[in-house]
Amino acid sequence: MSALKRRLDRSLTAQAVLAFLLVLAITALFSRPDEHPVSWVLRSALYTGIGVAFAAVQRRRISRATGTDPRRFADLNRKIRDREVPSDPEERAIMRRLVAEHLRRMERGGKWLPYWLGLMTLIAVGVLVLGAATGSLSLPVFSAVLLIGIAWWILWTRRRSMARCRHMQSALREQDERVP
H helices of 67-137, where? 70-82, 89-110, 113-134
Count of structural domains within the chain? 2
* Domain region containing 11: 1-66
* Pair 89, 179: CB distance under 8 Å: yes
Geometric angle at alpha carbon 100, from 56 and 84, rounded to 5°:
90
In a domain, 83, yes or no: no
Q: What is d(CA 97, CA 20) in angstroms, rounded to the nearest whole number?
A: 32
pLDDT bracket for residue 179 (50, 70, 90): low
Quote the pLDDT of residue 24.
Answer: 92
Model confidence at 106: pLDDT above 80: yes
Output phi, psi for 13, to 5 deg: -65, -45
In a domain, 71, yes or no: no
Geometric angle at alpha carbon 163, from 59 and 171, rounded to 5°:
90
Clarify whether residues 10 and 62 are in a common domain.
yes
In a domain, 17, yes or no: yes
Clarify whether residues 114 and 157 are in a common domain.
yes
- Report helix, strand or coil for 47: helix
Summarised one tens digit per residue, pLDDT across range 67-103 is 888 778 878 888 898 888 888 888 888 899 989 989 9
Summarised one tens digit per residue, pLDDT across range 38-77 is 998 999 999 999 999 998 898 888 888 878 887 788 788 8
pLDDT bracket for residue 180 (50, 70, 90): low
In a domain, 58, yes or no: yes
